A and B are shown apart, each in its own frame.
Chain A
Amino acid sequence: GDSVTQMEGPVTLSEEAFLTINCTYTATGYPSLFWYVQYPGEGLQLLLKATKADDKGSNKGFEATYRKETTSFHLEKGSVQVSDSAVYFCALSDKLIFGTGTRLQVFP
């Protein structure tokens, strides 16, 4: 069946470091892919999305490219800030399937 696999966290970085959070998926058809972010005590918020192969979603310095050949949607940011500390979820929207979440901790 359809599934999403994310790298386990926590990911611990210093401020201004480069971030990659890996996400791979298994799906039939051509689903839309999403990254959501959850800050402490809050609900999930959409961070970015891509609806077809080779689309690049971007928002707040974060980027992810829909790679059909590698069935991946890795999240990247060139320079993280302390305020980026949160849990990040990769999701297959069509089937309402979320990854297990990756906690990012950024230290000054």
Chain B
Amino acid sequence: DTAVSQTPKYLVTQMGNDKSIKCEQNLGHDTMYWYKQDSKKFLKIMFSYNNKELIINETVPNRFSPKSPDKAHLNLHINSLELGDSAVYFCASSQEPGGNQPQHFGDGTRLSIL
């Protein structure tokens, strides 16, 4: 009965490869997010989708491409991986964008680039 689930939990790959991280939420929320957390625990918003539409797109390299096939899923595809992409990536969801609604987070995907 996991609310927000991400796969894989760990991802180890070489520089230059292309990889995807999947996220699904079963809370019936309209809004989903991707965050990047660096080694110092700093958490930064990357993207947000509301009802499959992109509403937030922070300054992120265009090697990162989110895709939302339906409002319960938000996947993250990364092309040409670089060393600096090593981080923990968190998916989250909320009932509606911004406002007073708290976010529910997945357990994270730890991406390590060799």
A-to-B contact residues, CB < 8 Å: 32, 34, 36, 38, 41-46, 49, 51, 87, 89, 93-96, 98, 100-101, 103
Once the chains bind, are B45 and A93 in contact (CB under 8 Å)?
no
Contacts of B45 in A (CB 8 A): 96
Contact (Cβ within 8 A) B56 A44 = no
Residues of B within 8 A of A101 (CB): 41-43
- Which of B11-19, B66-74, B76-84, B104-112 binds A? B104-112
Q: Residues on B close to A: CB < 8 A?
A: 4, 33, 40-45, 48, 56, 90, 92, 98-108
Pairs across A and B, CB under 8 Å, 25 listed? A32-B100, A36-B105, A38-B41, A41-B108, A43-B105, A43-B107, A44-B43, A44-B105, A45-B105, A46-B103, A46-B104, A89-B43, A93-B98, A93-B102, A93-B103, A94-B98, A95-B98, A96-B45, A96-B48, A96-B56, A96-B98, A98-B43, A98-B44, A101-B41, A101-B43
A51 partner residues in chain B, CB cutoff 8 A = 100
A7 and B92 CA atoms in complex are apart in Å by 25
Whether the Cβ atoms of A43 and B4 lie closer than 8 Å is yes
A34/B107 in contact, CB under 8 A: no
For the complex, give the distance between the alpha carbons of A93 and B106 in Å: 17
Q: Which partner residue on chain A sits nearest B91 by CB separation?
A: A43
